[in-house]
Amino acid sequence: MSRSSVQKLGVVAALAITTSVLLLLAAGSPSSHAEAPAVATSEAATSHTIITPQPVQSRVIKPILRQLDRYHYINRTLNDQTSSELLDQYIDLLDKQRYYYTVADIANFDKYRGKLDDQLDNGNLEAAFAIYNLYLQRHKERLNYSIQFLNDGGKKLKFDGDEALMLDRSEQPRPQNTAELQVEWKKLAMFDVLNRVLAGDEVEEAAEKITHRYENRLNQLGQTTAVDVFETFINAYATMYDPHTRYMSPRAAENFDIRMNLSLKGIGAMLESDFEYTKVVSLVTGGPAEQAGDLKAADLITGVGQGEDGEIENVVGMRLDEVVSRIRGPQNSVVQLEVVRTVAGVEQPAVVFSITRDVINLTDQQAKSERLELKREDQTFSLGVVKIPNFYSAFGAKRAGDPDYRSVTRDVAEEVLKLQREGIDGLVIDLRNNSGGSLDEVNAMVGLFITDGPTVQVRQTGSRVKTLRDRDPRMLYQGPMAVLVNRYSASASEIFAGAMQDYQRAVVIGGRTFGKGTVQTLTPLIDDGRLKYTQAKFYRVSGGSTQNKGVEPDIAFPVIFDEETIGESALPDALPWDTIPPAKYNLQGAIGSLLPQLRSLHEQRVSNSEEFGYLRAQAKYLDERRSEKTISLNKATRLAEREKNQSRRLELENRRRIALDLEPWKSFTDFEEADIEEEKDLIPDAELQETGEILQDLVLLANNPQLVTTRANAARKIALPR
């Protein structure tokens, strides 16, 4: 079971920032197990400073309530019902996995159930801080208990019993008392130690490392501030509106500003809290981390060092913002990252990578094109592929009147014109993993591929609907098109895919998109924080929202993403899908009539495709792993599971390699240690290849001359959008 699968084990609110942080540089700086001790934790061991609210926090509540009441897309009334829901939301945010509060604790909180609305309205944070302070106390009790358990018997653990750790306790009965909590705390400690043992440590060494980790987390809990408490509580309320409405503390707002700056400096990594770890979510294309080639998405950062030879500081259990502050530093300076990687559910020994901090060149993230040559019997098809990472725009330069401001629409236009001059039979717009961006840019980009007409409808607070339009009758490209999407295609990319589908201008291929169909705005607050709230909702020209459901592809590929945990529909309190009347628009093609044949040809082709067989097998394997409810604390069982999973993965990889005339891996270790970049050059992009095949089918099936590109008109002169 991977670490990502066990992130459900708890929400450590004191250690987390509510949003991911793009790491950018701001200059500077008695069975066979050891028996669990029956611990009546001493007051000295669990005592902590009671955190109290800051005066400014009481004053900032009113503006937050006023903004949400007046301008949020949906209308919520602050009343006793809201108060009850807020209490449950807050408790769930702090202790979703039920490792801290007992039944008696929850019963004690019920006295606030009908009072939180009045307290909020009066700027009173008494209940919010009382609930959080008890969470901190229980969390410290858990860590002290676990440290004592490991000190008393952790070095003698044999891991030969039949105990198992439940991966998701959110629906389990809440523990009645501390003794019941300690049963689960012991399992958590054993789980952590066993992971280190499976990574190669001796039991004694593993227990010492985990003890040190818990001590570090105790230290970090002691650094919890009133800002942390306030941010957590206010966001419990804000996210009752929708998951994209949030309060940003001053520090979170500062990080947001850094992320939005077009001249970025740092290592270029998106990080988030993952239980006690800092996890790498993604790397910025062209950034120092990606160029160094060592750090990978899903890596867990366990230590940070300054300079080539600086001492590595343990950051496990450290607040995300504190980890970020340690990784930031001057341009051209070196930061060392100690990283743990999970393979086949097992943490591998830690390795240290050195990365030189530098300016992140955003031009490396701009739209790029390539040509895809495919053969069909005796005919060769030349297809253009334009990969668009996001819908970017240099807003500042545009407002300043810079004629050469960076714009995704202008970059795409240049790439498409270049492809047409070279001669192409079809065009693929690759929007996989495109998280969205500028509404103005997606409106303009839709206009490149249609004659004049509506591109998207935007319904604002009060149900006012504004229709964005392309008013230029010229089409940059008139030939056959495909749009490739996946579950991580969101927001603006969904608007583009939906418009191409509605106009029957392109066949949409891949996976169901993310489903983020809302618009947010930022408001500054008197504490130097910000309020981000949802003020509008997107609708396709056909009237359907992209919210929640996303865009369903015309031709679906095997899904390896877990749609129950990834996507808008997986987020609590997400706004629902709905419809409004369609806009008036004219179809730009006749793809709809060809879809049954396109699907049939696709199914025939991939039924014998080793690559798609691999994708289907991988999807099935991941579904099986996700369905597991518990994880064994028996070493032999875990080793057997690891061997089974490694053998299965190796078999899948080698079947694909043999089909591609590549040498199969001799062992799972060889597969693990392979150069990923080198493998990318050897293993074709099966989804892109099949998209090209579908596009060829479209060219051959189309009887409408407007659907077929001719080289005669491919290089016509068209003005770039300004």
pLDDT tens track for 55-87: 999 999 999 999 999 999 998 889 999 999 999
pLDDT tens track for 114-145: 999 999 999 999 999 999 999 999 999 999 99
Residues 302-312, mean pLDDT to the nearest whole number: 92
Which three-class secondary structure string do you get for 407-433? EHHHHHHHHHHHHHHHCCCEEEEECCC
What's the CATH number where 293 sits?
2.30.42.10
Tokens at residue 238, please?
């804000």
Tell me which amino acid residue 460 is: Q
Catalytic-residue membership of 8: no
CB-CB neighbours of 547 under 10 Å: 23
What single string gives the DSSP state of each residue in 549-575?
Answer: T----SEEPPP-S-TTTSSGGGSTTPP
Q: Which of residues 709 and 194 earns the better pLDDT score? A: 194
Radius of gyration (Cα) for the chain, nearest Å? 27
Choose one of 326, 361, 396: the last residue of a domain. 361
Please enumerate in sequence order all residues whose Cβ is within 8 A of that of 373, keeping only pairs 6 or more positions apart, or say none: 380, 381, 382, 383
Residues 323-340, mean pLDDT to the nearest whole number: 88
Q: Which of 146, 438, 491, 493 is catalytic?
A: 491
Asked if residue 717 belongs to a domain, the reply is no
| Sign of the CA dihedral running 196, 201, 205, 209 | negative
| pLDDT value of position 241 | 95
Does residue 579 share a domain with residue 512? yes
Contact (CB, 8 A) for 7 and 274? yes
| Nearest-angstrom CA–CA distance, 90 and 87 | 5
Residue 405 pLDDT exceeds 90: no
Residue 33 pLDDT exceeds 70: no
Residues 362-376, mean pLDDT to the nearest whole number: 82
CB-CB neighbours of 715 under 10 Å: 14
Phi and psi at residue 434, in whole multiples of 5°?
-85, 115
Eight-class DSSP state of 486: -
| Nearest-angstrom CA–CA distance, 250 and 227 | 9
Choose one of 192, 218, 246: the last residue of a domain. 246
| Residue found by looking up tokens 């009066």 in the block | 122
What single string gives the DSSP state of each residue in 286-355?
Answer: TSHHHHH----TT-EEEEEEETTTPPPEE-TT--HHHHHHHH---TT-EEEEEEE-EETTEEPPPEEEEE
Residues 649-661, mean pLDDT to the nearest whole number: 87
| Nearest-angstrom CA–CA distance, 681 and 500 | 31
| Nearest-angstrom CA–CA distance, 532 and 248 | 8
Tokens at residue 9, please?
């084990």
| Residue found by looking up tokens 């077009």 in the block | 262
| pLDDT value of position 498 | 97
The strand ranges marked E within 117-182 are 164-166
Does residue 530 share a domain with residue 383? yes
Residue 693 pLDDT exceeds 90: yes
Does residue 576 share a domain with residue 457? yes
| Nearest-angstrom CA–CA distance, 133 and 141 | 12
Asked if residue 696 belongs to a domain, the reply is yes
Residue 320 pLDDT exceeds 90: no
Catalytic-residue membership of 296: no
Asked if residue 615 belongs to a domain, the reply is no
Asked if residue 440 belongs to a domain, the reply is yes
Asked if residue 660 belongs to a domain, the reply is no
What's the CATH number where 441 sits?
3.90.226.10
Residue 192 pLDDT exceeds 90: yes
Choose one of 361, 393, 427: the last residue of a domain. 361
Residues in the chain, total: 722
Does residue 328 share a domain with residue 404? no
Q: Give the lowest-confidence range in 69-78, 289-298, 379-388, 708-717.
A: 708-717
Residue 15 pLDDT exceeds 90: no
Tell me which amino acid residue 83 is: S
DSSP 3-state of 633: coil
Measured at the CA of 219, the angle between CA 218 and CA 223, to 5 degrees, comes to 110
Does residue 303 share a domain with residue 415? no
Does residue 172 share a domain with residue 284? no
| Nearest-angstrom CA–CA distance, 190 and 535 | 47
| pLDDT value of position 716 | 30
Residue 517 pLDDT exceeds 60: yes
Does residue 211 share a domain with residue 85? yes
pLDDT confidence of 153, banded at 50, 70, 90? confident
Asked if residue 274 belongs to a domain, the reply is yes
Tell me which amino acid residue 20 is: S
Residue 286 pLDDT exceeds 90: no
Does residue 572 share a domain with residue 524? yes
Q: Number of helices (H) and strands (E), helices first, in the chain? A: 22, 23
Q: Which of 140, 265, 279, 516 is catalytic?
A: 516
| Nearest-angstrom CA–CA distance, 271 and 281 | 5
Q: Specify the number of domains making up the chain.
A: 3
Does residue 561 share a domain with residue 438? yes
Does residue 450 share a domain with residue 349? no
DSSP 3-state of 668: helix
Q: How many CA atoms lie within 13 A of 368 on its CB side?
A: 9
Does residue 236 share a domain with residue 309? no
pLDDT confidence of 10, banded at 50, 70, 90? very low
Contact (CB, 8 A) for 154 and 34? yes
Q: Which domain covers residue 225, as residue numbers?
A: 31-246
Tokens at residue 699, please?
């060219």
Residues 508-531, mean pLDDT to the nearest whole number: 93
Residues 429-443, mean pLDDT to the nearest whole number: 92
DSSP 3-state of 253: helix
| Nearest-angstrom CA–CA distance, 491 and 431 | 11
| pLDDT value of position 613 | 85
Contact (CB, 8 A) for 354 and 372? no
Please enumerate in sequence order all residues whose Cβ is within 8 A of that of 235, keeping only pairs 6 or more positions apart, or say none: 18, 93, 246, 247
Does residue 481 share a domain with residue 374? yes
Eight-class DSSP state of 25: -
| pLDDT value of position 48 | 61
Q: Which of 242, 502, 527, 554 is catalytic?
A: 502
Asked if residue 253 belongs to a domain, the reply is no
| pLDDT value of position 361 | 56
pLDDT tens track for 451-485: 999 999 999 987 899 999 999 999 999 999 999 99
Asked if residue 230 belongs to a domain, the reply is yes
Residues 230-242, mean pLDDT to the nearest whole number: 96
pLDDT, averaged across the chain? 84
| pLDDT value of position 363 | 54
| Nearest-angstrom CA–CA distance, 451 and 503 | 10
| Sign of the CA dihedral running 325, 330, 336, 342 | positive
Residue 92 pLDDT exceeds 70: yes
Tell me which amino acid residue 434 is: N
Catalytic-residue membership of 600: no
- Is residue 448 packed enough to be buried (19+ CB in 10 Å), middle (13-18) or exposed (0-12)? buried
Kindly give the residue spans of alpha helices, DSSP state H, lying in 490-590.
Answer: 492-502
Tell me how far apart the terminal alpha carbons of the chain are, to the nearest angstrom.
Answer: 51
Contact (CB, 8 A) for 160 and 637? no
Q: Give CA 105 to chain center in angstroms.
A: 33
pLDDT confidence of 359, banded at 50, 70, 90? low
